[in-house]
């Protein structure tokens, strides 16, 4: 069984697709490990984040996030990682106008491929560091950005010890962007198919790598069974309901 680092660097598009079919299994394992006793469940938050938030943001002209969405996104992030309730309070304290302007600017910069500047535009918000900023970008501009998940970052040797800096995120996002380009090349997905659900993006790669890491450490037997599948079935990972135009 390959390590998560080996999976990221050398697995085929079919192997990545196979991992996405058990994303929800990995999410349920994460939810059990976190054992969240109050508020919205991780499963519910993740469904909203993966399937609804991006569409809501894109429906606005120009695209931007509102404060209640930022607070709920923070809840999602903390439900997957270390729970720090102070960050919820800080995110709630942001002025609505600032949330709108900062997210609008960050999204626009990311769409233009200026990822470092996009992160800098978002961290002006209270409670928002590079990791939370990446969550905004991953859901709003998945074709350019991944989420700064610990489990995924640790698959890159240079990121074994994290300080959650902008430079660390840029390294992670570059690695996953390169992986997405490799997978698209190997599967024959050209740029003209960018709106195709089979198109590999940094965020889609991140979901597969995150799943591999979770199963490696918590349910390797399931990972073994999935690794035997090379059928290339349609992914059962969360799918965006909206189609993004090429930026």
Angle, vertex CA 174, rays to CA 13 and CA 102, nearest 5: 115
Tens digit of each residue's pLDDT (9 = 90 or more) over 197-242: 689 999 999 999 999 999 999 999 999 888 776 544 444 455 544 4
Please say if the pLDDT value at position 30 is more than 90.
yes
DSSP-assigned states of every residue in 17-47: HHHHTTHHHHHHHHHHHHT--SSS-HHHHHH
User: What is the per-residue pLDDT across 116-157, written as a single tens digit (0 to 9) for each?
Assistant: 999 999 999 999 999 999 999 999 999 999 999 999 999 999
Is 88 within the bounds of a domain? yes
Q: How many angstroms separate the CA atoms of 18 and 11, rounded?
A: 11
Does a structural domain hold residue 160? yes
More confident site: 194 or 118: 118
Mean of the per-residue pLDDT values of the chain: 90
How many percent of the chain have pLDDT more than 70? 88
Tell me, yes or no, whether 184 lies in a domain: yes
Name the pTM for this structure.
0.89
The reply to whether 54 falls in a domain is yes
167 within a domain of the structure (yes/no): yes
Q: How many structural domains does the chain have?
A: 1
Within-domain flag for 37: yes
Quote the pLDDT of residue 196: 64
* Domain assignment of residue 86, yes or no: yes
Rounded to the nearest angstrom, the gap between the alpha carbon of residue 53 and the centroid of all alpha carbons in its chain is 13
Question: What is the residue range of 102's domain?
Answer: 4-227
74 within a domain of the structure (yes/no):
yes
């Amino acid at each position: 069984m390959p390590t998560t680092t080996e999976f990221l660097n050398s697995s085929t598009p079919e192997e990545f697709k196979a991992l996405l079919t058990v994303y929800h299994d990995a999410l349920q394992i994460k939810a059990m490990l976190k054992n969240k006793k109050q508020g919205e469940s991780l499963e519910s938050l993740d469904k909203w984040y993966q399937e609804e938030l991006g569409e809501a943001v894109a429906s606005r002209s120009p695209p931007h996030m509102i404060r209640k969405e930022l607070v709920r996104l923070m809840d999602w992030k903390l439900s997957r990682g270390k729970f720090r309730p102070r960050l919820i309070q800080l995110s709630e304290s942001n002025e609505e106008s600032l949330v709108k302007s900062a997210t609008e600017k960050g999204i626009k910069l990311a769409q233009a491929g200026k990822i470092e500047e996009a992160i800098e535009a978002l961290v002006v918000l209270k409670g928002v560091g590079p990791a939370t900023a990446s969550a905004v970008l991953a859901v709003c501009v998945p074709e350019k950005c991944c989420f700064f998940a610990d489990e995924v970052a640790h698959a890159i040797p240079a990121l074994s010890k994290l300080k959650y800096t902008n430079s660390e995120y840029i390294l992670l996002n570059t690695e996953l962007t390169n992986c997405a380009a490799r997978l698209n090349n190997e599967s024959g997905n050209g740029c003209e198919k960018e709106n195709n659900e089979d198109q590999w993006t940094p965020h889609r790669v991140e979901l597969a790598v995150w799943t591999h890491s979770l199963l490696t450490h918590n349910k390797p037997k399931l990972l073994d069974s999935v690794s035997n599948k090379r059928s290339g079935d349609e992914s059962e990972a969360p799918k965006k309901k909206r189609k993004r135009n090429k930026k």
